Amino acid sequence: MFRNLPSTTAEAVCLIRAYEHAKPAAARVVDDPYAHWFLGPMLRAALSYEGVVPNLGPYAAWATDGIVGFVAARHRYIDDALRRATRRMRQVVLLGAGYDMRAYRFAPELRRCTVFEVDHPATGGRKARILARRQKQLPDVNVVRVQVDFEKQSFRRELEKAGFESRQLTFFVWEGVSMYLSRTGVKATLETIHAMSASGSELVMDLWYLPDEPDLVSSARRWSSSLLSLLGEPVTFSLHPEDAEPFLQRLGFRLRELADAKSLRRRYFDARTHLYPTNYLVRAVVDGRPAAPRRPARR
């Protein structure tokens, strides 16, 4: 239904980054001075209106069930991992890039890297048009935009056509996408990343899991995730943190770190901040061949 339109959730995420940028510098979890460029008229009005989330202060986290804080922390966590990795990596792939501006925000750190921004033509095309109008305000960067219809095209093939080199160490970012795919789709994407990557390449991605407690709050969270269906982007894939390491290992990745809401709060917020509890991030390394499936023991 909405397949040929730019991503609505990608624009909503920009609103959160723009909201962060509107704070005093010392209070920002993530600082993206470009995020407001990608907001449509309604979201720009929401950002500038004095009565919305920015003025809710300490109540904002609870009013949004911590989603605003989690999205900001998610972006910051990936920022930090990317900046550490730039000493070794020569390529960066932003898979499902949306309106990600890391190539420009970290232009000095990424000067030796090629940054491939991979996304659907509708979202990628809108981003390209907006940046073309503001070219003079941007630093020089080595960005290659790769437009892919993920349902019809191989992103590996399109990346290789665009100059991706499988022998180079690569840092993959897969942010805000996996929960909207099927389990088969997530596995196929990770298998492709593994197959096209040099050993030692890194992946950072976020995951979501279905809260299974019988209380009213968990029931509300299960119900609210279904509301994204109305935007054409239903939440469909769930993976509990306890299952993340074996899941990645079977696909040829070694888990380096799992960052849940508690650890993100310790890093980026004060102890009272509420973060959405059923999203988390993993940082993993491409580690040789995928693990062979275990055979059931004979009796």
CATH number at residue 272: 3.40.50.150
- The CA angle 286-291-292, to the nearest 5 degrees, is 150
189 domain-assigned: yes
Burial class (CB in 10 A: 0-12, 13-18, 19+), 80: middle
pLDDT at 207 over 50: yes
The model's pTM is 0.87
169 domain-assigned: yes
Q: How many domains does the chain have?
A: 1
**What pLDDT was estimated at residue 1?**
39
The lowest-confidence range among 12-21, 39-48, 60-69, 151-160 is 60-69
* Amino acid type, 266: R
38 domain-assigned: no
pLDDT in tens, 12-42: 899 999 989 988 999 999 999 999 999 998 8
pLDDT at 85 over 50: yes
Average pLDDT, the chain: 86
36 domain-assigned: no
Among 87, 88, 91, which residue's Cα sits nearest to residue 103?
91
Mean pLDDT of 116-129: 96
122 domain-assigned: yes
Domain that holds residue 211: 62-286
Mean pLDDT of 78-91: 96
pLDDT at 86 over 90: yes
17 domain-assigned: no
pLDDT at 142 over 80: yes
Q: Which residue has the higher pLDDT, 4 or 90?
A: 90
In SS3 terms, the chain reads as CCCCCCCHHHHHHHHHHHHHHCCCHHHCCCCCCCHHHHCCHHHHHHHHCCCCHHHCHHHHHHHCCCHHHHHHHHHHHHHHHHHHHCCCCCEEEEECCCCCCHHHHCCCCCCCCEEEEEECHHHHHHHHHHHHHCHHHCCCCCEEEEECCCCCCCHHHHHHHCCCCCCCCEEEEECCCHHHCCHHHHHHHHHHHHHHCCCCCEEEEEEECCCCCCCHHHHHHHHHHHHHHHHCCCCCCCCCHHHHHHHHHHCCEEEEEEECHHHHHHHHCCCCCCCCCCEEEEEEEECCCCCCCCCCCCC
Q: Which residue has the higher pLDDT, 1 or 32?
A: 32
104 domain-assigned: yes
Mean pLDDT of 271-286: 92
pLDDT at 101 over 90: yes
Which string of b and e fits 103-112 if b means at least 16 CB within 10 Å? bbbbbeebee
List of residues 6+ apart from 121 with CB closer than 8 A = 147, 148, 149
28 domain-assigned: no
